[in-house]
Amino acid sequence: MLNNVLNNARVFEGVHPLQVSEYVNQHVGRHRIRLNGGGQTRQASSSARLSYTNFADLGLARISYGDAVTVSCPDLAEVYHFQVVTRGECCWHYADDQRLRLRPGQALMMNPGEQIDLSYSQDCEKVIIKVPERILTEQCMEQVSALPRNGIRFERRVIDLDSSACLLRFLDAMLTEASESELELDSLQIPYREILLNKLLQHFHSNFRDSPSGSISDRGFAELIAFIDANLKSELDVEELAQMSNVSVRTVYNLFAKHFGLTPRLYIKNARLRSLRHELVSNSRLRNVTEAALDYGFTHLGRFSSDYRNLFGELPSETFRRHR
pLDDT digits (tens, 9 = 90+) for 202-246: 889 888 765 444 455 556 788 888 899 899 988 888 988 888 887
At 239, is the secondary structure helix, strand, or coil?
Answer: helix
Domain housing 205: 7-210
Last residue of a domain, one of 210, 229, 264: 210
The reported pLDDT for the residue numbered 210 is 54
CB 92 within 8 A of CB 100: yes
Model pTM? 0.65
d(CA 49, CA 23): 11
CB 126 within 8 A of CB 63: yes
Which residue type occupies 162?
Answer: D
Low-confidence spans in the chain with pLDDT less than 50: 41, 211-214
Question: Does the residue 226 lie in any domain?
Answer: yes
* 177/254 same-domain check: no
| CATH code (residue 78) | 2.60.120.10
d(CA 305, CA 311): 10
Give, in order, the Cα–Cα distances in Å from 13 to each of 9, 16, 64.
11, 9, 10
* 203/222 same-domain check: no
Which residue type occupies 132?
Answer: P
* 192/230 same-domain check: no
Total tally of structural domains belonging to the chain: 2
The reported pLDDT for the residue numbered 212 is 47
pLDDT digits (tens, 9 = 90+) for 285-315: 888 888 888 988 998 988 999 988 888 888 9
